[in-house]
């Protein structure tokens, strides 16, 4: 009989729902051993978490993460809460000998990330961080082309992560706009994904120079019960926005490539445009999450008379993860990136090896974000602090 691992999920809003869906779908489409058992979900508001347990299909619920972690029937703790809670929940879970998956970014500060990395090493259990876009099949295909040398020497990384959900000045001061809860704004919430993708596809960043801007400095406080979601509504009183609305930076990579990163929540009409282009000596690839089943590729060795970018439909059974889903041409979506993340996590638990991006990878992402913040405060070119980890 297939083994099971009891999952305890902390958080039941947007990310809690994506993770719940992933655990439910995973064993139905992929052959995994252990298979996740949706043992308990945790949140502080009893009515909310009870509803979530019923709707999302969890066997039980807890209202205190410490009780969740104490349970013997839970082997994997999934932390899908706002950043200000990551450190405490993750460290408690690791100290209790659990495997841990944590939502991105790993922490709100580099110091917290360092403590979490140390705790993960001490625990020796499996750890990973949910930078889910790595698990889009087209991104995995880009990685394969790069690893096979088909783009040659990589020269350029160019990424944009564009959203527009807070453009309205009346949009309320949700947790994502408060430094003490979220750590940073567009930088940690969405540029973090681009940094993870850049590290995955190009390599480590050696230095950055950046800027950050907050266009709307004061916003209505959230109405009670609005829930902090992306479609929350505001009341009459206002409060200060303490994070960046937009961040942009230049980067040098250790392998000699150079990069540009732009992340904003003020790009009118761009709902969740997470895109990158990579140019190498032998070709280029371009990806846009809003067309996630496609990868644009260009190869300099193609015959001159037919040279040009072409679009690969990444829906063939031989493409990464795709064979588990539908016949060729039948596309997949955002939620599948989470199923793939959990698949690799289950394989990692079986093998006793943390799947990338590990806490160490996420620490290195955090170090880049931290360097951008220091640079934006007037530091000029700034190196991520990765010495001694």
Among 78, 112, 189, 245, binds ligand SOE (CB under 6 A): 189
d(C-alpha 284, C-alpha 213), whole Å: 31
d(C-alpha 96, C-alpha 269), whole Å: 45
Structure-block tokens of residue 174? 């949700």
Least separation in angstroms between CB 137 and ligand SOE: 17
Least separation in angstroms between CB 295 and ligand SOE: 19
Least separation in angstroms between CB 229 and ligand SOE: 10
The answer to whether residue 163 forms part of the interface with ligand SOE (CB under 6 A) is yes
H helix intervals, 30-109: 46-56, 65-70, 86-95
Q: Is the peptide bond before 357 cis (omega within 30 degrees of 0)?
A: yes
The answer to whether residue 205 forms part of the interface with ligand SOE (CB under 6 A) is no
Is residue 12 within 8 A of residue 21, CB to CB? The reply is no
Q: Please identify the residue of the shown chain whose CB is closest to the bound ligand SOE.
A: 189
Least separation in angstroms between CB 258 and ligand SOE: 25
- Burial label for 251, CB within 10 Å (0-12, 13-18, 19+), is buried
User: What is the footprint of ligand SOE within residues 304-363 (CB under 6 A)?
Assistant: none
The answer to whether residue 272 forms part of the interface with ligand SOE (CB under 6 A) is yes
Least separation in angstroms between CB 189 and ligand SOE: 5
Q: Is the peptide bond before 127 cis (omega within 30 degrees of 0)?
A: no
The answer to whether residue 190 forms part of the interface with ligand SOE (CB under 6 A) is yes
The answer to whether residue 245 forms part of the interface with ligand SOE (CB under 6 A) is no
Tell me, residue by residue from 97 to 136, as one string, x for binding to ligand SOE by CB under 6 A and - for no binding.
----------------------------------------
Q: Is the peptide bond before 141 cis (omega within 30 degrees of 0)?
A: no
Strands 99-103 and 294-299, bridge-based pairing:
unpaired
Of the pair 190, 243, the CB lying nearest ligand SOE is at: 190
Q: Where do contacts with ligand SOE occur on this chain (CB under 6 A)? A: 163, 189-190, 272
């Amino acid at each position: 009989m297939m083994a099971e691992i009891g999952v305890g999920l902390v958080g039941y809003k947007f990310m809690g729902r994506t993770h719940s869906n992933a655990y439910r779908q995973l064993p139905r489409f992929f052959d995994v051993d252990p298979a996740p058992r949706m043992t308990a979900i945790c949140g502080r508001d009893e009515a909310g978490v009870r509803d979530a347990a019923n709707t999302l299909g969890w066997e039980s619920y807890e209202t205190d993460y410490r009780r969740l972690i104490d349970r013997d029937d839970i082997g994997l703790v999934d932390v899908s809460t706002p950043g200000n809670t990551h450190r405490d929940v993750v460290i408690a879970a690791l100290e209790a000998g659990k495997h841990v998956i944590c939502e991105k970014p790993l922490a709100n500060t580099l110091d917290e990330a360092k403590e979490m990395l140390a705790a993960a090493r001490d625990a020796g259990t499996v750890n990973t961080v949910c930078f889910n876009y790595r698990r889009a099949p087209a991104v995995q295909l880009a990685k394969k082309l790069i690893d096979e040398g088909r783009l040659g020497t990589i020269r350029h990384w160019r990424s944009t992560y564009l959203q527009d959900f807070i453009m309205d000045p009346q949009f309320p001061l949700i947790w994502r706009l408060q430094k003490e809860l979220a750590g940073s704004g567009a930088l940690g919430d969405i540029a973090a994904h681009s940094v993870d993708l850049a590290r995955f596809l190009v390599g480590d960043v050696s230095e950055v120079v950046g800027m950050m801007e907050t266009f709307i400095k004061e916003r209505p406080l959230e109405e009670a019960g609005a829930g902090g979601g992306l479609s929350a509504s505001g009341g009459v009183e206002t409060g200060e926005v303490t994070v960046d609305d937009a961040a942009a930076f230049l980067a040098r990579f250790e392998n000699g490539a150079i990069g540009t990163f732009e992340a904003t929540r003020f790009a009118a009409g761009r709902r969740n445009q997470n895109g990158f282009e990579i140019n190498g000596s032998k070709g280029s690839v371009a990806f846009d999450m809003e067309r996630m089943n496609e990868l644009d590729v260009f190869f300099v060795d193609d015959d001159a008379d037919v040279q040009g970018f072409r679009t690969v439909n990444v829906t063939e059974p031989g493409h990464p993860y795709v064979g588990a889903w539908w016949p060729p041409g039948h596309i997949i979506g955002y939620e599948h990136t989470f199923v793939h993340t959990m698949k690799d996590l289950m394989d990692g638990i079986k093998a006793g090896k943390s799947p990338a991006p590990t806490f160490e990878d996420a620490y290195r992402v955090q170090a880049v974000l931290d360097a951008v913040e220091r640079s934006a405060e007037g530091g000029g070119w700034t190196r991520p602090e990765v010495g001694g980890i």
